[in-house]
Structure 1
Amino acid sequence: MNSTCEDIKEFLWQNTSDLTSIPQTMGIFGVLYSIVISLGICGNTFVILSVLRHRSLQSVRNCFIVSLSCSDIVVCCVSGSITPITAFTKVWLFGPELCHLVPLIQGVSLCFSTLTLTEISIDRFILIVYPTKRPIQKQHALRMIVFNCAVAVSLSLPMVFKQKLVDYGNFCGQFCTEDWGSDQFGRSTYGTVLFFLQFVVPLSIIAFCYAMICIRLGKGMLLRRDSEGGSEHLSEQRRLALKRRLRTNRMLIAMVVAFVASWLPSVVFNFLRDYEWLPKVVQSQEYLYGVITHCISMTSTVWNPVLYAWLNEQFRLAFLDLFKVCGQARRSNGSAYRLRSESSRMNTRCARLTSGAFLDGASTDGQALMRTHGDSKTVEIKWEKNPGTQETVTSTLARNSLTVPDSCCVTARTSSL
């Protein structure tokens, strides 16, 4: 290395007043990244441990959520540390191998996350809009996760070959950068394809699925409101169901808003940079705006545990159980039991029954609602022939009279999706 080389940070500060070259900016973003990374790793780790610990949480949807949490942890460890360090030092400090691998890992994580979010919305869409259709099974979910990995690697693979470690003139150090040579058309085309496949297409599918879900839930609430006039007990049940569905609507809308708010700035910034369409004010502080948009996108690793897990009663109880295990191991079994009993008491479960023995002769070829009353000795089963209507048959039976055959004639799934 030339002993008279020039420090690129000094050069940028003198010529462009690059704000990422001063210690104050580094300190501010250092604190922000530390908070985001810590919350992202802790939140997603809690999600994974909760699902592994409690069988009641091991559903199809939570398979996707666990895979998404794993991807977010990788993003926190790799993109949340290496990217800001490189943005502030300007030189590459991690060797030629990581110069090729880090962009691949970042691209795979982003693409995998968007595909997984899309499949979660599709799973919810099938469950709520078409409840009589066969839902996605766990083995299908695992295949979809593997498919997501394959697609994400395929889309990100060009970065392995286009990312190079180079020297720039008389500047000190080496720089890891995209090198497309004179093929700027290829770079723009690749960036456009990624923009649509990683953002536009998934967002369109997510928006469509959640819009249809909101319409479906809205129709169900109108039907219930128009059919009011039953007993006071049933009116209270409907009021609670309405409140739960309104909360679900808010959560679904928050998911879309969080996804767009987190990734839109970074995706648009990279898209405009590929076409050299950045405004002059942004070009003059390209490093700064790059760090800002990247830091915003990193917050998606924090929002996901909040929106997909912490707003769910079962996950909240599972998190509390994990805290108790850390300090009071002897109470872990009791906490696990409370998780199951609270879930049964607070959530109306949607069950597909294959035996008519439990409904006093009512047909059992559709959906039913089953509610257990805490520690009482009875189980109330409400038959709902057409979800969203009031064509129901209610039966209250003694718990000890419910004998479930070995063939599992009752399969329950939580209705508060």
Structure 2
Amino acid sequence: MELQQSTNHNQAVCKEIPWDFTEDCPPSLSATTLLIVAYGAVMAVGLVGNACLVLVVTRNKEMRNVTNVFIVNLSCSDILMCVVCLPVTIIYTLMDHWVLGEALCKLTPFVQCISVSVSVHSLVLIAAERYQLIVHPTGWKPAVSQSYMAVALTWMVACLISVPFLSYSVLSLPFHNLSVPFPVSDRPLCVEQWPSVQQRQAYTTSLLVFQYALPLVLIMACYLHIYLRLRTRRDAVERGRSAGERRHKGAVRINTMLAAIVAAFAVSWLPLNAFNAVFDWHHEAIPTCSHDAIFSFCHLTAMASTCVNPVIYGFLNGNFQKQLKSTLLRCRCWAAAERYESVPLSTVSTEVTKGSVLSNGSASINT
């Protein structure tokens, strides 16, 4: 949806012509170059970081718990955004018109809406799981198999929510069959053509509520209850010390990390959601020449959320850093050669040496 808002400018103009198009707004080469470089950097960091996170969790059985399943689901939605939506945005920004065909015109906003829905629903599931674990420690605890079912449900719901983009995203020529007193372009644009403005406003407002506002309210309510419960346990922990103190610190660290991911997601998507709300209900408030610049800044800020998950998860999780190093060493073809060369040549052919190599390898993985 957000990608299409830049082209919705032309769609709104075709219906109402609210702006003065005699005003000259030449694109800036330096600004376009900077924008493309920024999008490329976000795509690279998001793709590599999330791929590493998925690799670590899927290749280490001890890390396959309910929270990490939801974290991986969040990373998969970010990878989908990086693979499908960001390259299209870069091409669209560079060409200034749509050159990718009608199929991608429909698929790109559909995929982007799915990715956003899956991301925010994954954050809700993480908050709910932490709430159940900490606030009701003796109650029901979700199993890993149940978390897979929840993940499948989030993707199904996200696909259903995003279906309108497949119907209403079309290739169109701006001002086609419209008499206007200024030169028009014959280059195609990917726009949303809704049956009425009211239907578009109802749908986009519903997305704002159910994709952003309501999930964040639920998440904040969960973490507020978690914070209050952990604070009430502080006195008991201070009396018990030792093992109780370590468990308390571990819970606080994990919840801080997860809350930071949620806060970063909320901050990243706030400018674009605000821009979309203004565009849908009062687009005349957006200056003509500043429209693309404002949208690009807001959209780039939202896309930066794809980098947040692996950065926060990696920096605040020492176990993840160790597992990542271990996984990368196991994946590198020359790692085995280095371990082999570290053994004295005189003992290479003995059975004892083989056992030593295996034990050393397993020890390095577990440290």
TM-score range, shorter chain: 0.7 to 0.9
Kept in 1, the 8 Å contact 2:53–2:75? The answer is yes
Q: Which runs of 5+ in 1 are unaligned?
A: 1-7, 229-234, 343-417
What is the letter of the counterpart of residue 179 of structure 1? Q
Kept in 2, the 8 Å contact 1:251–1:307? The answer is yes
Change (3 A) 1:25 1:33: same
TM-superposed CA distance for 1:197, in Å, is 0.8
Kept in 1, the 8 Å contact 2:121–2:215? The answer is yes
The structure richer in strand per residue is 1
Kept in 1, the 8 Å contact 2:275–2:295? The answer is yes
Distance 2:66 2:132 in 1: 12
| Residues 238-289 of structure 1: per-residue CA shift (max 9 Å, x gap) | 55455444433532432232011111111121122111346344x4311111
Please, which of 190, 193, 208 is the counterpart of residue 206 of structure 2?
193
Distance 1:55 1:22 in 2: 51
Distance 2:284 2:235 in 1: 48
Give the corresponding residue for 2:5. Answer: none
Please, which of 180, 203, 225 is the counterpart of residue 194 of structure 2?
180
Distance 2:289 2:160 in 1: 34
Distance 1:190 1:179 in 2: 13
What is the letter of the counterpart of residue 329 of structure 1? A
What is the letter of the counterpart of residue 210 of structure 2? L
How much identity, in percent, do the aligned residues show?
28
Give the TM-score, by structure 1 length: 0.71
Please, which of 206, 220, 234 is the counterpart of residue 221 of structure 1?
234
| Residues 293-312 of structure 1: per-residue CA shift (max 9 Å, x gap) | 11111111111112234422
Give the corresponding residue for 1:79. Answer: 85
Change (3 A) 1:245 1:51: closer
TM-superposed CA distance for 1:223, in Å, is 2.2
Please say which of residues 291-300 and 328-337 is displaced more in the overlay.
Answer: 328-337
Q: How does 1:163-174 map to 2 (within 5 A)?
A: 163-169=169-175, 170-174=184-188
Is 2:125 the partner of 1:111? no
Return the structure number with greater relative CO, CA threshold 8 A, min gap 6: 2
| Residues 393-415 of structure 1: per-residue CA shift (max 9 Å, x gap) | xxxxxxxxxxxxxxxxxxxxxxx
Is 2:318 the partner of 1:313? yes
Q: How does 1:394-409 map to 2 (within 5 A)?
A: none
Distance 1:236 1:221 in 2: 13
Give the corresponding residue for 2:101. Answer: 95
Give the corresponding residue for 1:291. Answer: 296
Is 2:335 the partner of 1:322? no
Distance 2:361 2:267 in 1: 37
Kept in 1, the 8 Å contact 2:32–2:93? The answer is no
What is the letter of the counterpart of residue 29 of structure 2? P
Distance 1:315 1:94 in 2: 39
Q: How many residues align?
A: 320
TM-superposed CA distance for 1:86, in Å, is 1.6
Give the corresponding residue for 2:61. Answer: 55
Give the corresponding residue for 1:144. Answer: 150
What is the letter of the counterpart of residue 40 of structure 2? S
Distance 2:86 2:154 in 1: 22
Give the TM-score, by structure 2 length: 0.80
Q: How does 1:343-354 map to 2 (within 5 A)?
A: none
TM-superposed CA distance for 1:49, in Å, is 1.0
Kept in 1, the 8 Å contact 2:169–2:192? The answer is yes
TM-superposed CA distance for 1:61, in Å, is 1.5
Give the secondary structure class of the aligned counterpart of 1:269.
helix
Distance 2:152 2:247 in 1: 36
Give the corresponding residue for 1:15. Answer: 23
The structure richer in helix per residue is 2
Give the corresponding residue for 2:348. Answer: none
Distance 1:243 1:57 in 2: 19
TM-superposed CA distance for 1:44, in Å, is 0.7
Distance 2:129 2:312 in 1: 16
What is the letter of the counterpart of residue 328 of structure 1? A
Change (3 A) 1:61 1:249: closer
Kept in 2, the 8 Å contact 1:100–1:160? The answer is yes
Give the secondary structure class of the aligned counterpart of 1:15.
coil
| Residues 74-117 of structure 1: per-residue CA shift (max 9 Å, x gap) | 10112212123323432101011111111111111111111111
Kept in 1, the 8 Å contact 2:54–2:72? The answer is yes
Distance 2:235 2:269 in 1: 35
Change (3 A) 1:268 1:102: same
Kept in 1, the 8 Å contact 2:70–2:122? The answer is yes
Give the corresponding residue for 1:133. Answer: 139
What RMSD over aligned residues (CA atoms) do the two structures have, in Å?
2.4
Distance 1:51 1:28 in 2: 35
Kept in 2, the 8 Å contact 1:78–1:102? The answer is yes
